[in-house]
């Protein structure tokens, strides 16, 4: 037994000595595979390889080329044209005399708008922004492979600024939907679109914030904020992850100059997909509605009314004979929960009510002075929003 232990000790000593010599003289022999299981030459901070379709390349280290190749074929350029408004003085001889050819051009030149879109199904359905195609008489889509096609409007939802188009073409490239539930601030994203009409462009950045709302852009806001460059013409384009999966529809930028300042907003694909399914299936998006005017509850308001709560949504007005009025909700009530969903701001209240099924009863928890009440409201269907120029 003692002899066996002596032999084992000598063997371990020799092995450690050999390992030391190799580590000193030939360290590259020990770096062919790291302890994390990554191939040699790729650090844990590098972009992970992306498995694409057969015959497609993977992401190279420190490159997003694989994600771009996977996503860009499904991103299209959209040209929306609208007939020029009729000038009331167009037939006036004096108007024709003073303005000449310019007067005729003003009567005949269509208004052109440029934007982007994303192909999301082999049947030819596209997602874009409502403001890209709103009021258009003719919509043309150009694919990255050069093909062009007229597009038909399947439906629009101004409340989320989403529109669904349809084209009739064979062998369409289709983007893959990503998962926004696992999205985190700091994740790498790419913005793909047609900025300024220069052609398809890919920019990169990170997710700067999640759940941005109260920006006054849409009725229902839950934006992904990113510093990936988004410029005019990118509207309706794709925000994708480092694997080329669709995370959002690029919608707006914060800018004082008209160009990108590093603050852009995208509609989460979960919202866009829900809207698309409603528009394709029913021609409209069905949302709940109770008929109230909400306002965020501030600490100052809570103190003024001696409320025992600090969070909720103050009801400043109730539509006469509307669902909330019929259920017993009054101005001055503070909504703290809709069904089983807590609400702390106006955006959350709108979203929670919109998720309710029309013609069904819902229990809404309110704070009225020092009393906590449960109010049962029969939910109605949200009225269709008017076009932007009529709001």
Domain match, 255 and 329 both = no
Domain match, 124 and 97 both = yes
Predicted pLDDT at 247: 95
Whether 144 and 200 have beta carbons less than 8 Å apart is answered as yes
| Rounded Cα distance, 215 and 225, in Å | 12
Predicted pLDDT at 285: 87
Domain match, 131 and 208 both = yes
Predicted pLDDT at 33: 38
Domain match, 117 and 98 both = yes
Q: What is the pLDDT of residues 277-323, one digit of tens each?
A: 999 988 888 899 999 999 988 888 888 888 898 889 999 999 998 99
In a domain, residue 53? The reply is: no
Q: pTM for this structure?
A: 0.69
Q: What is the pLDDT of residues 72-106, one digit of tens each?
A: 999 999 999 887 665 555 555 655 555 555 555 55
Residues with active-site annotation: 131, 161, 235
Tokens matching residue 146: 């050069």
For 24: left if phi > 0, alpha if psi spans -120 to 50, otherwise beta; the answer is alpha
- Count the Cβ atoms, other than its own, within 10 Å of residue 146: 6
| Rounded Cα distance, 147 and 141, in Å | 8
Tokens matching residue 94: 């004096």
In a domain, residue 95? The reply is: yes
Domain match, 344 and 362 both = yes
Tokens matching residue 9: 């000790």
Q: What is the pLDDT of residues 243-256, one digit of tens each?
A: 999 999 999 887 66
Domain match, 187 and 88 both = yes
| Rounded Cα distance, 113 and 109, in Å | 13
Q: What is the pLDDT of residues 154-204, one digit of tens each?
A: 999 998 999 999 999 999 999 999 998 889 999 999 999 998 888 899 999
Residue 367 lies in domain: 288-381
Whether 131 and 388 have beta carbons less than 8 Å apart is answered as yes
Domain match, 293 and 213 both = no
Q: For the chain, how many helices (H) and strands (E)?
A: 8, 21
Q: Which of 250, 285, 320 is the last residue of a domain?
A: 285
| Rounded Cα distance, 192 and 196, in Å | 13
Domain match, 240 and 209 both = yes
Predicted pLDDT at 44: 25
| Rounded Cα distance, 174 and 226, in Å | 24
Number of domains in the chain: 2
| Rounded Cα distance, 77 and 327, in Å | 48
């Amino acid at each position: 037994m003692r002899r066996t232990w002596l032999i084992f000790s000598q063997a371990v000593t020799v092995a450690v000595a050999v390992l030391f010599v190799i580590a000193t003289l030939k360290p590259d022999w020990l770096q062919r595979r790291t302890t994390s299981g990554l191939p040699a030459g790729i650090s844990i901070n590098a972009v992970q390889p992306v498995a694409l379709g057969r015959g497609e390349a993977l992401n190279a280290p420190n490159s997003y080329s694989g994600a771009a190749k996977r996503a860009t074929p499904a991103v299209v350029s959209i040209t929306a044209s609208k007939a020029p408004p009729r000038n009331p003085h167009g037939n006036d001889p004096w108007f024709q005399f003073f303005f000449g050819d310019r007067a005729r051009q003003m009567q005949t030149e269509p208004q052109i708008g440029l934007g982007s879109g994303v192909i999301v199904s082999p049947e030819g359905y596209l997602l874009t922004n409502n403001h890209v195609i709103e009021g258009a008489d003719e919509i043309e889509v150009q694919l990255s492979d050069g093909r062009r096609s007229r597009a038909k409007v399947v439906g629009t939802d101004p409340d989320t600024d989403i529109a669904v188009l349809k084209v009739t073409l064979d062998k369409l490239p289709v983007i893959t939907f990503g998962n926004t539930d696992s999205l985190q601030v700091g994740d790498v994203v790419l913005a793909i679109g047609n900025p300024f009409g220069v052609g398809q462009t890919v920019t990169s950045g990170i997710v700067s914030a999640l759940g941005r709302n109260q920006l006054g852009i849409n009725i229902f806001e839950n934006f992904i904020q990113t510093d990936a460059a988004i410029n005019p013409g990118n509207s309706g384009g794709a925000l994708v992850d480092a694997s080329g999966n669709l995370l959002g529809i690029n919608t707006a930028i914060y800018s004082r100059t008209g160009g990108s300042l590093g603050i852009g907003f995208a509609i989460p694909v979960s919202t866009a997909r829900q809207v698309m399914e409603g528009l394709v299936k029913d021609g409209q998006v069905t949302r709940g509605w109770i008929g109230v005017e909400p306002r965020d509850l501030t600490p100052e308001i809570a103190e003024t009314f001696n409320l025992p709560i600090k969070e909720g949504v103050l009801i400043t007005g109730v539509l006469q004979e509307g669902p909330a009025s019929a259920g017993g909700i009054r101005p001055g009530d503070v909504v703290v929960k809709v069904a089983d969903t807590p609400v702390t701001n106006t955006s959350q209240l709108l979203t929670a009510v919109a998720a309710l099924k029309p013609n069904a009863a819902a229990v809404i928890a309110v704070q009225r002075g020092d009393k906590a009440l449960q109010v049962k409201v029969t939910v109605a269907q949200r009225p269709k929003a008017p076009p932007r120029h009529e709001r």
